[in-house]
């Protein structure tokens, strides 16, 4: 497994290493022009935009989400995130411990901030 960050910065707040038994939570800082590859998740993921704007493709439907918006990504959903603006977008993400994602080429990704 490998980690793909596409230029984004992830700051972990809750993991088993910090005492959490079920959930992980982190802040994501997505720089201007960043584009995450499409990936399918194995756990529910809740993404809340704290600041900025993002384009999100979720199971083929693309929506713009802005500060204050929350996106629920169900297990098995395919997600791609892009910051088309000229400023960093900041998100808060919560999921279950053990989140993994699969890229279109079959590569499995286990982000360290979700373990």
pLDDT tens digit sequence for 10-58: 999 999 999 999 999 999 999 999 999 999 999 999 999 999 999 999 9
The CATH H-level superfamily of 9-99 is Jelly Rolls (2.60.120.10)
Task: Return d(Cα 61, Cα 68) in angstroms, integer.
Answer: 20
pLDDT tens digit sequence for 67-97: 999 999 999 999 999 999 999 999 999 999 9
3-state secondary structure of 26: strand
- Residue 3 confidence (pLDDT): 45
């Amino acid at each position: 497994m490998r980690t793909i960050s596409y230029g984004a910065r992830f700051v972990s707040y809750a993991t088993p290493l910090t005492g959490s038994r079920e959930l992980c939570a982190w802040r994501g800082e997505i720089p201007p022009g960043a584009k995450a590859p499409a990936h399918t998740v194995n756990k529910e993921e809740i993404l809340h935009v704290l600041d900025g704007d993002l384009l999100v493709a979720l199971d083929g439907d693309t929506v713009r989400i802005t500060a204050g918006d929350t996106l629920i990504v169900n297990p098995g959903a395919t997600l791609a995130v892009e910051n088309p603006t000229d400023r960093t977008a900041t998100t808060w993400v919560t999921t279950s411990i053990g989140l993994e994602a699969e890229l279109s080429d079959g590569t499995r990704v286990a982000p360290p901030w979700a373990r």
